[in-house]
Amino acid sequence: MATSPRSPPGAPPPPEFEISRQSRLLAALSKKVIDLDELRMLAAQGVPDGAAVRPTVWKLLLGYLPSDRALWEQELAKKRSQYAAFKEEFLSNPMEIARQRELEGQGSENAGSIYNGLLHRSEITQEEHPLSLGKTTAWNQFFEYSEIIEQIDRDVKRTHPDMHFFCGDSSFAKSNQESLKNILIIFAKLNAGIRYVQGMNEILAPLFFVFRNDPDDKNANFAEADSFFCFMELLSGFRDNFCQKLDNSAVGIQGTLSKLSQLVAKYDGELQRHLEITTEINPQFYAFRWITLLLTQEFNFADTIHIWDTLLSDPDGPQETLLRICCAMLILVRKRLLAGDFTSNLKLLQNYPPTNISHLLYVANKLH
């Protein structure tokens, strides 16, 4: 977590500072109407793990919870009900939909015509037939997304294989995997322009982990719904990075990488020239993953969570803060980079060394 600007660079916050910050954060959250500017300032320094308030803080920072506490219960109930409707609409098998229509439309009198869970052939309409060519049929949409669903399934199973929370044979891990899959499938179906892009599972993972570990059991049980809406909000600021048609535009990923290059040139021209001119290392070779996956692959999971405290605290959205952190990552290893060639530098940046996260965020903040 980030240190106070008054702390020595990289030094861990003294215990009394941690306790003071924790009490200030709890006081800020206890107000009837949350002062979001104050909350952002406190969260940007890192949310103390012992305070057990990170789920609430992140939901406020992402705009999922309104600042008025009196509206929380009503807003959560509305959103969670909406997500339940999404699940019913987007996760149902076409055969299940057909069976449901049959039961609803003809009632108990004809319910007996469903034998062993299957509709009689004569009762399947042209629209409901699996071989129907109609683009709006449930089966067409089912087959259209089957490849994406298979990709999501593969990626979810590879999410943080070193963590029992996400992987393993326990029912808890399998339940968490199922929740990740549900969220990503619904997101893909609601966002036809992007659908699913590999790596989205890595961005979703920190959100779901934090919300599923909420000390309030009711909130923890609704982690899937809450994660879905916060994931939607988070990706709204990075959506253009995932749109292939915009890759080479000013707002696409190439434009974002160009901004990083300009930032490095502004604060360390010698380093930028050595990387891009002398050793011919384009930011795309290493920073593409840093930016698109919000640094989730460069640090251990606990450090990623602390970095996200700072990322989510930016009132203008996470992207500018993300670029400053990426720039700080380069500055922290500048001596090794200036002494290195193409091969050694690329290896270093694609496998970023363990670092003091407090110091990294301190340096990034100085670039503001």
- The pLDDT assigned to 115 comes to 44
- The pLDDT assigned to 1 comes to 39
pLDDT of 135 strictly over 70 = no
Task: For residue 46, give the 3-state DSSP assignment.
Answer: coil
Q: Residues for the chain: how many in total?
A: 368
- CATH of 244-366, picked from 3.40.718.10, 1.10.287.110, 1.10.3720.10, 1.10.472.80, is 1.10.472.80
10 Å Cβ neighbour count for 93?
A: 11
Query: Per residue in 91-104, pLDDT tens?
Result: 976 555 555 555 55
Spell out the CATH class of 32-91+137-237: mainly alpha
Name the percent of the chain lying above pLDDT 70: 77
pLDDT of 227 strictly over 90 = yes
Rounded-to-5 percentages of helix, strand, coil across the chain: 65, 0, 30
User: From CA 188, how far away is CA 344, in angstroms rounded?
Assistant: 38
Query: Per residue in 39-49, pLDDT tens?
Result: 999 999 999 98
Identify the DSSP state of 274.
I
pLDDT of 287 strictly over 70 = yes
Query: Per residue in 290-337, pLDDT tens?
Result: 999 999 999 999 999 999 999 999 988 899 999 999 999 999 999 999
Query: Per residue in 325-350, pLDDT tens?
Result: 999 999 999 999 999 999 999 999 99
pLDDT of 58 strictly over 60 = yes
Q: Domain-by-domain residue ranges, the chain?
A: 32-91+137-237, 244-366
